[in-house]
Chains A and B, each alone.
Chain A
């Protein structure tokens, strides 16, 4: 049984009990507990089922390396799946659920896969799902989805809040353990801006639990003094509960901060994503203990030796009455000693090494602990929890020498420096045989933008596991950094530490060395992804010898823990199996994040109405008050139509379009882009930008223009007004304003920088109001102090004047085919003028119209819309706009592109109108016309598609435009459009459906 001991636990507060539940069962813990420690304290050893075989699994470790203990926490809007129990603080009332089992944790139907495990070897997915084709969809996928996987995603919106925070510092220290604190303390007086981040709620790492003294006083005293001293430096910021997730180029680092329990934090913010720019990074991330591979090493009760020690010392949790230890190094003896000192039993330490002479083993022996050299575990006994073990010879094949009864097994296969962050940005690793670990290769470090090393590992992150080695090693790094920053260091005092002798960690991976083949399938390497020794054997047998290949074939290290406990063992097994040295096998690539970050944290505040900016015109509130049905148009929101009481959207659109055709309508056209182009060379410049001739435009006149990219494809269109000899106002599409402005600036800055032209995107400066319909002029004349007659303001001209007392520019242009004016006014006055026009128009039954009526009106006239008739592959000539392409100009953007053979091909799809036959409804959007003949692949050949399709309330029938192969030459032909298998017939007609002779505008 794992139980809470009567005393002990350095981080729990026994005066603050907490209640929580696990799978509905009410349990008790203490403030300071993690989910994992609280569950163990309640003897909840079985906490989940494994990914593939649904094996029973228990808490294995005490930090972010934990492979098994993943839980679903909370419920409703606070439900979070896949949370790591050993890094999650317990909170009052927390509801914890185990994952990946059915119907229950105790009786899991999926564990039948355990029996059938021979059917699920490495590469099973790759081999099995090749054929037959249908089997994946109908057989395999549903079965796998049912049985595999982690927690279920939440169904409710996340009710918690998250934010980002940018910082710029000189130095980031990752890790608040001994080395990190020491480095910060030494550098603090330099005045450098230092940020130190620690992933746990506590500083000091293993200092207090593993060492009595440090720096000439008790280790606790040293820690307190250090933290106090650091707090006096304004240039130093310490942050706990903040885990660095990734290091990116140019010193960019992200870190995930878990804010303390909302109950004592005003309940608002849950997590904060730090986005840090730092000049240098000191990596004091420590090291992670490795397990060993032996039969039954995944049974609950088998735990990392460091984990058992942490639970014992930090949380006062006993692993059970009897704990056997299996190790290949001296460090695990600390666990045996700690257990014995507290009064628990350690029946046996099995050390795979022949000779054991270090300080710690000697101490253990003196305490009377039985130490067996050259021994290993033949098999773990027990099903849902450990009941004992069979001891064997390490160099043998696993024959049982003795059965030992125990409730827990502490395992240590040595330590791996936590080098993930070193590697994120290209830092290389090398295998150090003398220390039996991969260490940072200082010859191949990650670099900053100047090509200089920017990450400096210290302490155990650099492979220095002994306390007495750390001060000197930290000092070297600190001195180097101070010199780089050109800051003097004053009297560095190196804390003293007890020197102990330690025997080399032996490169033991498999226990026993000669493990029988049948046993290799009962020995786990990666607990979370259920990868066994036999899977690695098979991958190599099938030729997946590169570590990157065997990793993917077996999925070793690809689970949410990213192989923190399994990677090095996997590499060693490959090395061992192939007879290739560790350095040659190499490591797989570490990628961010170090620990998973919730999606909510990544989103930060960019959710719901802040997911993306919504641009609003000054008339927005009026639209809202008048029941606008909104449509997003690029970043803007625009009224699609205005709904009258009880009206359908369709009816509203028809009503609005008819209103424009019969009397008068008004449109908020503010979103159209307005770019001012001014200068001596403005006309010359616009002649390059537009396909047609803008230089010949007279001041006071307007011209519709097309812009192409260098491919010749149509990019944007709009009306250009010449304000004076050197000034033009270019209107763009709503979505095109920023892009076209950037496009103009690109050419002016990078190609024709000697041309004298200035541009300005002044879109938001003006409100633009469209007034269209036979009675448009009458409405405006009611307000006017300016003449708007045919003679005073002819079609395609503009002038300044006053309307209703406001200064305005009036453009006589039309996108509806009706008599139409666009009035431009300062944005701050726009709403007032809009209201005045609306009032003045009442006697003509004026109505506002939305974007959809605008589309219907333009389609009735056969006008194209960028994004409907164009898709980045269409040239103006395809749309019958040859008239807007100057033949006289030597050059314009896109001219050369349009010469290319496929763009001059007579078979190109060109714009036509489409009259749907035998049906009342419009053609569906985007449907393709199918010809009688077949293409090269044996499918029917496509010969056209619908680009715009509407119901025309004016013509009282559906209308459509489309691009059709040689379209204009095929007037009267009937095409067949395939709408989900249903064929719809439509006749090719002229695309100017309404007023083709332009008599009304």
Chain B
């Protein structure tokens, strides 16, 4: 239960080369699932999950909403391909690359820092690799997930990125992270 082990506190940095595409539609539809897979090569995730392959990830936002992450330069191409593939289907596909900020968090004790600001259950059996958790961080809505225990991602609204950065900074002040998770 030592406070702040010497491994150091996590750091947060903006990742500005991430493109994002909003996808709304009836996710249970076979046509949509197949169409999405053909275009992205990534399976539509189960609820609360994020699937990734070769730089493209699809996150489950709600029963009729996905968020696709991919390199910024590929956004236009993907939207055209989806529009093409799913023509006639009822969808809402939109470039939202500028709607949210994507943060990359690196270091140790990331769960603890998140736990200072989010009521989400961060126990390892609940917050697993591939879990895409929409929750709040402080007073604003966010979602987070991780690639490695020492490499997490967090998204929030673009206008609230400054708040997140400052709150993260305060939450990682040296000497005050209880090792818990």
Contacts and interface: CB of A to CB of B under 8 A. Distances in A.
B170 A605 contact: yes
Contacts of B158: 618, 764-765, 827
Nearest to A827: B98
B176 A269 contact: yes
A425 to B, nearest CB: 18
A709 interface: no
A871 B98 CA distance: 34
A161 to B, nearest CB: 7
B116 A165 contact: yes
B108 interface: no
Contact of B174 (A237, A266, A828): A266
Contacts of B48: none
Contact of B1 (A163, A239, A606): A239
Max chain B C-beta neighbours (<10 A), residue from A265, A605, A613, A618: A613
A168 B135 CA distance: 15
Interface string B102-133: 00000000001001111111110010000000
A762 B94 contact: yes
A615 B4 CA distance: 31
Interface string B141-181: 00000000000000001111011001100110111101010
B149 to A, nearest CB: 15
Given A610-B167, A616-B159, A166 B115 contact: yes
Contacts of B180: 165, 167, 237
B38 interface: no
B39 interface: no
B81 interface: no
B90 A680 contact: yes
A612 interface: yes
Nearest to A168: B121
A827 B158 CA distance: 9
A679 B91 CA distance: 8
A102 interface: no
A615 B160 contact: yes
Contacts of B112: 165
A164 B114 CA distance: 11
Band of interface residues on A: 35 or more
Given A265-B175, A762-B96, A764-B98, A165 B115 contact: yes
A614 B139 contact: no
B174 A826 contact: no
Given A165-B116, A265-B175, A266-B175, A764 B99 contact: yes
A764 B97 CA distance: 10
B36 to A, nearest CB: 16
Contacts of B16: 828
B174 A616 contact: no
Contact of A167 (B115, B138, B139): B115
Interface string A914-942: 00000000000000000000000000000
B134 interface: no
Interface in A253-290: 259, 265-269, 272, 275, 277
Contacts of B126: 168
A269 B120 CA distance: 23
Given A164-B116, A165-B115, A758 B100 contact: no
A737 to B, nearest CB: 11
A950 interface: no
A166 B180 CA distance: 10
Contacts, number: 126
A193 interface: yes
B160 A613 contact: yes
Interface string A145-183: 000000000000000010111111000000000000000
Interface string B4-39: 100000000000100000101100000000000000
B46 interface: no
Interface residues on B, range: 35 or more
Contacts of B25: 758
Contacts of A679: 90, 92
B122 A168 contact: yes
Contacts of A617: 159
A165 B178 contact: yes
Contacts of A277: 119, 121
A636 interface: yes
Given A239-B1, A613-B163, A676 B92 contact: yes
B138 A610 contact: yes
B116 A268 contact: no
B64 interface: yes
Contact of A606 (B94, B123, B139): B139
A269 B173 contact: yes
A612 B136 CA distance: 13
A680 to B, nearest CB: 7
Given A168-B121, A237-B1, A612 B116 contact: no
A828 B98 contact: yes
A765 B99 contact: yes
Contacts of A610: 138, 163, 166-167, 170
A827 B161 CA distance: 13
A766 B176 contact: no
Interface in A759-778: 760, 762-766
Contacts of A239: 1
Nearest to B24: A758
Contacts of B3: 265
A676 B98 contact: no
Interface in A485-542: none
B138 A636 contact: no
Contacts of B100: 764
A238 interface: yes
Contact of B173 (A259, A268, A612): A268
Given A168-B121, A612-B139, A163 B176 contact: yes
A842 interface: no
Nearest to A163: B116
Contacts of A636: 159
Nearest to B72: A828
Contacts of B91: 758
B98 A766 contact: yes
A167 B127 CA distance: 13
Contacts of A168: 121-123, 126
B1 to A, nearest CB: 6
Nearest to A170: B123
Nearest to A679: B90
Given A163-B116, A277-B121, A764 B157 contact: yes
A898 to B, nearest CB: 32
A766 to B, nearest CB: 7
B176 to A, nearest CB: 4
A758 B64 contact: yes
A791 interface: no
Nearest to B119: A166
Contact of A613 (B92, B99, B115, B139): B139
A168 B133 CA distance: 15
Contacts of A78: none
B153 to A, nearest CB: 18
B22 A613 contact: no
A98 B116 CA distance: 35
Interface string A232-248: 00000111000000000
Contacts of B159: 615-617, 636, 763-764
A413 B25 CA distance: 70
B165 to A, nearest CB: 11
Give the 10 A-B CB pairs with smallest separation, nearest first: A266-B175, A615-B159, A827-B98, A758-B92, A613-B163, A765-B99, A269-B176, A764-B158, A758-B24, A168-B121
13 contacts: A163-B116, A164-B117, A269-B173, A605-B117, A605-B138, A613-B163, A615-B159, A615-B163, A676-B92, A676-B94, A765-B95, A765-B96, A766-B98
Given A239-B1, A756-B90, A764-B158, 16 more contacts: A161-B176, A237-B180, A238-B1, A266-B174, A268-B173, A268-B175, A269-B175, A272-B178, A605-B138, A612-B139, A613-B139, A676-B92, A758-B25, A758-B64, A762-B96, A828-B16
